[in-house]
Each structure stands twice: as C-alpha cells, then as structure tokens.
Amino acid sequence: MRESAIEKAFFEWAKEIGALCYKFTSPSHRGVPDRMIVMRGHCIFIEFKAPGETPSLLQLREINRLLDAGVWAGWVSSLEEAKNIVKRYL
C-alpha cells in the first residue's frame, strides 16, 4: 500500500472517531511529521511511510525533538499501526 493511501485511510478513520486530523507542514522547517492529531485535549504527530520504508534522518530528528518537548510523535507504515497509536495515546 502506498504512503498516500495509508494516510488518506487514516484521515477518514480519524474523522469517524471525532479526532481532528491536520496535514502538518512547516514551509520553513523541513522534516516535520505528516499529520497532527488532536483529541480529548491531547495531541500526537505521525509520520506515514510505505511498508518497507523508514523515515529520513531529518524526520527522525524532528520526531525526537517533539518527543523531547513532551508530545507523542512517531512513524508508522500501516493503517493498523496508526489506529493503535491513536487508541493508546488519545
């Protein structure tokens, strides 16, 4: 499954469960995760990858910066992984 297909399916699922799911871009700051998900007063960031792919070093650095700031951030390569993260942290 392509990264864009996983991300689109996740966006639709997030809407169904009542989460806010924003495409997160920062034009002056490369490497930020693809999506910011907000629900019940909590926020997480998810980077989506196609199966078999991994984040770049820049993306991993940004994930770690978010974790150091006290929010959950990570990456997934399947819809089920993303759903499980939301169920666990939100």
Write the pLDDT tens digit of every residue in 53-77.
999 999 999 999 999 999 999 999 9
| 84 pLDDT more than 90 | yes
What is the reported pTM? 0.94
Buried b (16+ CB within 10 A) or exposed e, 27-42: eeeebbbbbbbebeee
Check residue 53 and give its pLDDT. 97
Question: Helix and strand tally (H, E) in the chain?
Answer: 3, 4
Q: How many residues does the chain have?
A: 90
DSSP codes of every residue in 38-66: EETTEEEEEEE--TT----HHHHHHHHHH
- In the structure, what pLDDT confidence band is assigned to residue 44 with cuts at 50, 70 and 90? very high
Considering just the CA atoms, what is the radius of gyration of the chain in Å? Answer: 12
Which CATH fold would you assign to the domain 3-89?
Trna Endonuclease; Chain: A, domain 1 (3.40.1350)
User: pLDDT of 13-31, one tens digit each?
Assistant: 999 999 999 998 888 889 9
Listed by start position, the domains of the chain span 3-89
